[in-house]
Amino acid sequence: MPTISSALRTVALAASLTVLLAAGCSDGGGQARGRGELRNPATSTPSGETGLKRLAAQKLKWRECPAPSEAEGGGPTPSPLPGGTPWECSFMDAPLDYAEPDGETIELALIRAHSVDQQKRIGSLIFNFGGPGGSGVAALPGFGPDFADLRTRYDLVSFDPRGVGRSVPVECEGNRELDAYYARDATPDDSAEEQALQKSQKSYTDACEKNSGTELPHVGTTSAARDLDLMRQVLGDGKLHYFGISYGTELGAVYAHLFPEKVGRAVLDASVDPTKTAEQSSLGQAKGFQLAFTNFARDCVQRAEKCLIPGNSVAEVQNWVIDLLQRLDEKPIPGIGERKLTQTLATTGIAQTLYSKEFWKYLEQGLDEADGGNGGLLLTFADLMNGRDQTGHYDNSMAANTAISCADFKDRYSLAQTKAKLPEFRAASPVFGDYLGWGLTSCDGWPVPGAWSHPDVSAPGAAPIVVIGSTGDPATPYEGTKAMAAALGEGVGIVLTYKGEGHGAYNGGNKCVRENVDGYLLEGRVPASGTVCG
């Protein structure tokens, strides 16, 4: 069930913030708009073989990477890594439906950078940065310098999962419609607003079915995990070496369940809780974002007069923010150009800034400016969350998020069922409870049934998998780390705890986390389960 997207947002913030907080002149348009295709069975593979064997034998044609497509978020062509190593891109053919491997195929977009030391090369290290719906092709170059140590022995590889970016992207509403969709009142207060929410949701769902109906049944996580195994074979690796972040931990764990004997060295950072239903996951996010907000408010109180937000206690800061959101519900304020900051967009912007402690200062500034009638900064962060660039174009990350989530999870919540759940959500988070509680309606009326109540990730016999959790993570609360490790199985799930804030620990600057992860991925040294880094 779609919630606040758990893609690793800090890289997008770091890459975009300087430009976005300036006058706002970046051009997301004019980029290559290529996408993977839906096509007849591939012809670029050896004849005489059928199905998956034929696809596993395909030879990829690597070329210089183009600029990210609009669906991937746009931007410049990826620059070479320090030392001059270029990024290369290709497409891999995969079955549209793994139940019919000789049927139609789709193209999945890949990106890679060769390892530094080919003589000591272990293989490919495949990354998924989360979402669901995040483009790995667009994200990996931004992380390149952070993964320099890992590139000493691995080719760095990522991809756009099916339904995402260039890989036959799910397409729903157009840009103008999406502006209205994300600005709508997503937390209705009366029957008229409830009907408007339902109408808006139906229009969005109908557009997804109209534009991507053929692909919607086949974008779930199980199919993506099978894509990973096909990718492993096509890249020539006997084992899958994998680094998954946020939703990428679920994808990697499902892979381990399906192909335990093929797991190589794998790391799951900012782990989801695979034992939870969609509703429980949303409730967990409500608690996680509330915790992050409380930590932000506590920091504000400790700085006293230096903080722009009034309040002598966490409760007073929280009540001030809730009052601001209520005022925006009654009367939106000027944002950017002709667009206004609504209550929904403001809540989205607040959530975006809580992904990293580094961005609390912008949350403080944005709230202060909104109180004064200027909603531009919070609207900027809401646009980052929703995948909108300054030219008004949206990437497809949120459309893919909905499609993948609804393909995965069985539960469908009607208006009445959702309203019955709201008190529990409000108790979990006075700030985000309504926002996330009403999100339960997102899959109501979806044209494709869901696959599970929660994924099975048991992986008996798999190699050790390092599962990392941050105690202050808002999007994937820390409790999910131990749940993931336990669900993977004894001797498989290895818990590594980071006592700190933010979503994702490896790139958070903690030396202990990096040394443990690098030691495992590069040298095979498995950390002791229960290791704590502070």
**What are 20-73's pLDDT values in tens digits?**
444 333 333 223 334 565 554 443 444 445 789 999 999 999 999 999 999 999
Q: What string of H, E and C letters represents the secondary structure of 296-358?
A: HHHHHHHHHHHCCCCCCCHHHHHHHHHHHHHHHHHCCEEEECCEEECHHHHHHHHHHHCCCHH
Rounded Cα–Cα distance for residues 405 and 402 (Å): 5
User: What per-residue confidence (pLDDT) applies to 227?
Assistant: 98
* β-bridge partners, 158: 111, 127
Rounded Cα–Cα distance for residues 152 and 122 (Å): 9
393 in Cβ contact with 421 (< 8 Å): no
Say whether pLDDT at 426 is over 80: yes
Cis peptide before 132 (omega within 30 of 0): yes
449 in Cβ contact with 306 (< 8 Å): no
Secondary structure (3-state) at 112: strand
User: What per-residue confidence (pLDDT) applies to 77?
Assistant: 96
Rounded Cα–Cα distance for residues 50 and 122 (Å): 30
Secondary structure (3-state) at 77: coil
**What are 332-382's pLDDT values in tens digits?**
999 999 999 999 999 999 999 999 999 999 999 999 999 999 999 999 999
User: What per-residue confidence (pLDDT) applies to 319?
Assistant: 98
User: What per-residue confidence (pLDDT) applies to 51?
Assistant: 84
**What are 395-404's pLDDT values in tens digits?**
999 999 999 9
Kindly state the average pLDDT of the residues 79-104.
Answer: 95
Choice among 9-18, 116-125, 235-244, 502-511 with the minimum mean pLDDT: 9-18
Say whether pLDDT at 1 is over 90: no
Going by pLDDT thresholds of 50, 70 and 90, the confidence category of residue 103 is very high
Going by pLDDT thresholds of 50, 70 and 90, the confidence category of residue 4 is low
Active-site residue set: 246, 473, 503
Average pLDDT of the chain? Answer: 91
User: What per-residue confidence (pLDDT) applies to 9?
Assistant: 44
Kindly state the average pLDDT of the residues 284-292.
Answer: 95
User: What per-residue confidence (pLDDT) applies to 73?
Assistant: 93
To the nearest 10°, report the CA torsion of 173, 350, 506, 531: -120
Rounded Cα–Cα distance for residues 265 and 261 (Å): 12
User: What per-residue confidence (pLDDT) applies to 55?
Assistant: 97
**What are 150-201's pLDDT values in tens digits?**
999 999 999 999 999 999 999 999 999 999 999 999 999 999 999 999 999 9
Rounded to the nearest 5 percent, the helix, strand and coil shares of the chain are: 45, 15, 40
Q: How many CB atoms lie within 10 A of CB 336?
A: 17
User: What per-residue confidence (pLDDT) applies to 295?
Assistant: 96
- % the chain with pLDDT above 90: 88
DSSP 264-293: EEEEEES---TTS-HHHHHHHHHHHHHHHH
Among candidate residues 243, 291, 230, 233, the one with its CA nearest the CA of residue 271: 243
User: What per-residue confidence (pLDDT) applies to 39?
Assistant: 56
Which tokens go with 268? 């799951």
Say whether pLDDT at 483 is over 50: yes
* β-bridge partners, 341: 333
- % the chain with pLDDT above 70: 91
